[in-house]
Amino acid sequence: MDTTLQDPLVGQVLDGRYRVDARIAVGGMATVYRALDTRLDRVLALKVMHPALAADGSFVERFIREAKSVARLAHPNVVQVFDQGTDGSYVYLAMEYVAGCTLRDVLRERGALQPRAALDILEPVLAALGAAHRAGFVHRDMKPENVLIGDDGRVKVADFGLVRSVDTVTNTTGAVLGTVSYLAPEQIERGTADPRVDVYACGVVLYEMLTGGKPHQGESPAQVLYQHLHEDVPAPSAAVPGLAFELDELVAEATARTPDIRPHDAVALLARVREARSALDQDQLDALPPQALTADHDNAEDRTSVIPRALTTRIGGGDGGTGGDGARSEAALNRTSRLQAPPPPQPPAGAARPGRPRRTLLTVVVAVLLVLGAGGGVWYINSGQFTKVPPLLAKTEAQARERLKEAGLGVDRVEHAYSDTVGRGTVISTDPQAGARIRSHDSVTLTVSDGPETVRVPDLKGHRLGEARTLLKKEGLEPGMVSREFSDDVPRDAVIGTDPEAGTERRAGSAIALTVSKGRAVDVPDVTGDDLDEARSQLQDAGLKVRISAEQVNSDYDKGRVAGQSPEGDSQAAQGDTVTLTLSKGPEMIEVPDVTGNSVGDAKNTLQKAGFQVQEDRGLLGLFGDTVKKQSVKGGDRAPKGSTITITIR
C-alpha cells in the first residue's frame, strides 16, 4: 500500500530517468518507492538510501560494491537489481517491482500457517539463498519483511542491502548489522557471518510461520539478544500442539546455537526441508493452526530502522526497556539494526571531577554485561586496548600491510601457500582471522597465495597401468579415464601415452587420461561350422587363446561343431586374447504335423507354422489336384526345425 505523505521525492525524476510515483515502504537503511523507468517504460522499485547514511562514505562505498555483486546473482526467486546510481545527495538502487505482499503481511493477517504453506514459502526462499551462498554471498538480514509473495504466487527474496561476501566481517567499527529477532549467536558475539547465519534466520522464520509468533520475546532488544545467546529456540509443537516431530527437528537443526551443528548453507537446509516434507502425511501437512495464535500486529513494528547500541544498552540496563512505550520496544525487534557502541560521555561544562564520566561509562558497561552474560561480547566497548583484524582476503601483500598499518597492527611474518581460487600474490588468510579481537599494535601472520600448484605430467610410456597410476599420484596428479588401443611396439597393458602429453604443466590434483596398449592386433579367423580341433588349431596359430563355453546351442551345424565364436570372425583382437567358442547340439528336432488329406493351402500353412519349409511334388497327375496324398516325413515323426517337408499332390 502506498504510504506517501508529502514525500519530497515523489513526482521527481532521479538521474533523468526514474520517475518516482509513490512511496512503498520506509526502513532503517532506505526508503522504497514505486517508480517508472522512462527510458524502458517499465515499473520498478527504487530503493533510496537515507540521507544520514548517504553521508557516510564507507557505507555508500559498500552499498554500491555489494549492489553490483548482487546484480550478478540471477535467480528466479531473487529480486533482481537493474541499476545503481546517485543523483545529488540521493544514492539509489533500481530493482524489480513485485506486485503483492510480504510474508510479514501474511503473518499479520493470518497468524500461524499450515505446515504445507510454510514449507511452500520456505523452499523457494532457501533456493534463492542457496544460489547466493554458492555464489559466495551471505544475506545477513533474512526476515518475513524481506520475503515477497507476488500476486501470481511467486516467492522472492528481497533486500540484499546487507549482503556481503562469505568469510568477511562488517567494516562498520563497533556495529552489528541485522535484525534483532533473527540474529544468530555468532553475529551477536563476534560480528561474523557466513551462510549459517542465514540458515539460523530461516529457522526462526519457519518457527514464526508455524506458530504465528517469534521464538524469543522481550521488552528490549538486549533481552532478545540474551535469549539468542543462552536459550535454544523452543519446539514449534510446544506452542502449537499436534505439529509433526519432523518440523520440530527441522527448526532445532536450523537454529542450533552452535554454528557447526546447523546445515552448512541454504542448499543443505533445503535438502533437509524436502526430506522432512516427504516424511509428513497429508493430514500433518494440512494441519490447521489454532485461531488463538493469529497475531495482531501494528504496522510500526515492521518498519526498518537504525538502533544505536547506546540506546539498547540503556533499555537493557534498568526497567526492562519499556520506558512507558512497549510498542516502540517491540518495533525495535523487527528493525534492520545498526547496533553501535556508545560514544564516551562528555563531562558537563565546569565539572570539577573529570574522572566521573569514566565511572558512569563503567556503570553502563557493567549493567550491559549483567544483562547479556559473559557471552555478550558484542557489547564490549573498545577502550583502545583492542581492535579487530581487518578483512584482507584477495588483497596484495602490500595492500594488506598498509591496511594493517592503518588499523594499528603489524605483520608478524608472511607465509606462502598454493591456492586454486586466490590469485598469486594475494592474501589467502590471516592469523588471527579477519574480525578477531586483537590487542592494538600486535602483529598478524599473512598467508599469501603462490597461485595454483602446478605439476609436470611425467613420461609414463611403457609403464604398466598400475605403476603409471602410482607415479601420477606421487606427482600430485590423479589417474583419469583409461582408453585402450592396439600397439605394435608397446606391450599389452602398458601405457602408450597420456592426455595431456608428458611434460605439460597441470594444476595439482588434475586428472590425467591414460591410453593403454591392447597389444599387437591380429585378425580373428572365422571358425564357425568347423570341427573343434580344426578351429582350435587355426586360432592358436593366429596367436589367440581358446576357451570352450560350457553352454551348447541348437544350430544348423552338426553336433560338436562350432556354432558361434566371440569375438566374431574377421574382426581384430590383441595377440594373446581369448576367443570363446560355443559348440552345436545339432539342429532342434520337432514333431511333424500330419497333413495328408488336407488341401494344399491348409497343409502348407500348418507345416510352416510348425517351423518347416514346404516343397510341392505334383507330377503329371497332380497338376490340377488340390489334395495332399503323401508327405516326405510322416506325421508324428520328428525332423530338424527349419528342414524341408515335401508334400505329394494328387
CB 509 within 8 A of CB 477: yes
Alpha-carbon span 554 to 585, nearest angstrom = 5
Alpha-carbon span 158 to 136, nearest angstrom = 17
> C-alpha grid cell for residue 380?
564490549
Alpha-carbon span 388 to 406, nearest angstrom = 12
**CA-only gyration radius of the chain, Å:** 41
Cross-strand partners of 517: 485
Number of neighbours of residue 318 by Cβ within 10 angstroms: 11
Please give the positions annotated as active site: 141
Who contacts 180 (Cβ-Cβ below 8 Å, separation ≥6)? 221, 224, 225, 307, 332, 333, 334, 335, 337
Question: Three-state SS for 132?
Answer: helix
Number of neighbours of residue 636 by Cβ within 10 angstroms: 9
DSSP string, 378-391: GG----SSEEEPPP
CA neighbor of 297 nearest in space, from 201, 205, 213: 213
CA neighbor of 176 nearest in space, from 222, 145, 241, 143: 222
> C-alpha grid cell for residue 344?
564516551
> C-alpha grid cell for residue 578?
581369448
Question: Three-state SS for 302?
Answer: helix
Alpha-carbon span 553 to 563, nearest angstrom = 7
Unique residue bearing C-alpha cell 526462499: 125
Query: Can you say whether residue 394 is alpha, beta or left, with left for phi > 0 and alpha for psi between -120 and 50 degrees?
Result: left
